[in-house]
Amino acid sequence: DSGVTQTPKHLITATGQRVTLRCSPRSGDLSVYWYQQSLDQGLQFLIQYYNGEERAKGNILERFSAQQFPDLHSELNLSSLELGDSALYFCASSDISAPYNEQFFGPGTRLTVL
C-alpha cells in the first residue's frame, strides 16, 4: 500500500458529462501529480500541485482542471467528456526534496466514457 488513496475506483459516464476524481496524498507529502494512462499513450503527466499551488503542467487538455486544497487532497475535474478520455487516471505524491523525485502512486480511477 503506497499510502495514496483515490476515489472512486471506477467511473462510467456519458459523453458531454463532467466528473471529479479525488486523491489524498501520503501523509507529509506536499506534492501531488496527476497522470493519464491509456494503452496507446502510456503514462502521461497532466499536472502537478505543490502545497496548494500549481507547479508544473504537462499534456493537460483545457477541458481538464485540477486543484489542491489546504488539507492537501487534490481533485481532477474532467468536463465535456469524450470517448477518448476513457483511461486510467493516477494520482501520485512525493516528498519533493528527493532529487530523483520518487513518486508514490495511488490505485487509480478507471474512467469509461460511453
Partner 1 sequence: QKEVEQDPGPLSVPEGAIVSLNCTYSNSAFQYFMWYRQYSRKGPELLMYTYSSGNKEDGRFTAQVDKSSKYISLFIRDSQPSDSATYLCAMSASGGSYIPTFGRGTSLIVHP
Q: Interface residues with partner 1 (CB under 8 A)?
A: 2, 4, 33, 41-45, 48, 55-56, 58, 90, 92, 96, 99-108
- Least Cβ distance, residue 80 to partner 1 (angstroms): 26
- Least Cβ distance, residue 101 to partner 1 (angstroms): 4
Q: Tell me the β-bridge partners of 45.
A: 35
Q: Which residues contact 63 (CB under 8 A, 6 or more apart)?
A: 78, 79, 80, 81
The values of phi and psi at residue 96, to 5°, are -65, -10
Judged by beta carbon, residue 60 or residue 79, the one nearer partner 1 is: 60
- Least Cβ distance, residue 86 to partner 1 (angstroms): 16
Judged by beta carbon, residue 4 or residue 76, the one nearer partner 1 is: 4
Of the candidates 94, 108, 100, 111, the one whose C-alpha atom is nearest the C-alpha of residue 18 is 111
Judged by beta carbon, residue 78 or residue 103, the one nearer partner 1 is: 103
Q: Report which residue type is found at 75.
A: E
